Amino acid sequence: FFLLPTTIFAHELETDNAIGVVLHIDPLDNPKVGEPAKIFFEVKDKDNAFRPEICDCQLIISKGDDVFVTAKIYGSTNQSNFGYTFPEEGIYALKLIGKPIEGSHFDTFEFNFETIVSEPKNKQFILNHWVHIVLFGGAFAVAFGMYFVELYRIRKSKSKIA
């Protein structure tokens, strides 16, 4: 049987009464644009029938109407691992769908997670402080220019005296 999907956030145990799933994203459940992220799910069921090697597990990563990835994921433990680099900032949906392969017995499941992907800190710093950087750089250029103009005037006046 198939249960209604649930939307959940990283590192929260969610269950549909038969299967429990926890989403982990390295680094620190805080993915950054353009930086590799390791996505893995910890899946457990109340009957201990679930094992990744007997699951047709599929991960779908999307943002709005755009689907970025549809991939089968497997693992040697009860954690299914997947590496992904998020291409842009925003809220992404990660859907995990699990169906038992033929001859296996656990309940089919579907869970929807959301994660917020942001710009790396160094880029955020530049974006948040670009006005300060421009003003400071401009002030430095003006001061530097004034110094050389004054230096030129002093040398010119000294050459007239001599």
pTM above 0.75, yes or no: no
- pLDDT single digits (tens) 64-109: 999 999 988 865 555 567 899 999 999 999 999 999 888 888 888 9
In angstroms, the Cα distances linking 90 to 33, 37, 63, 68, 111 are 9, 15, 8, 13, 20
Bridge partners of residue 8, in order along the sequence: 113
CA dist., res. 30 & res. 118, Å (int): 8
CA dist., res. 111 & res. 20, Å (int): 10
Find the angle CA(127)-CA(132)-CA(137) to the nearest 5 degrees. 110
- pLDDT single digits (tens) 9-43: 456 777 887 889 988 998 888 899 999 999 988 88
CA dist., res. 73 & res. 84, Å (int): 12
Checking DSSP bridges between strand 7-9 and strand 109-117, what pairing results, if any?
parallel
CA dist., res. 82 & res. 79, Å (int): 10
CA dist., res. 110 & res. 33, Å (int): 26
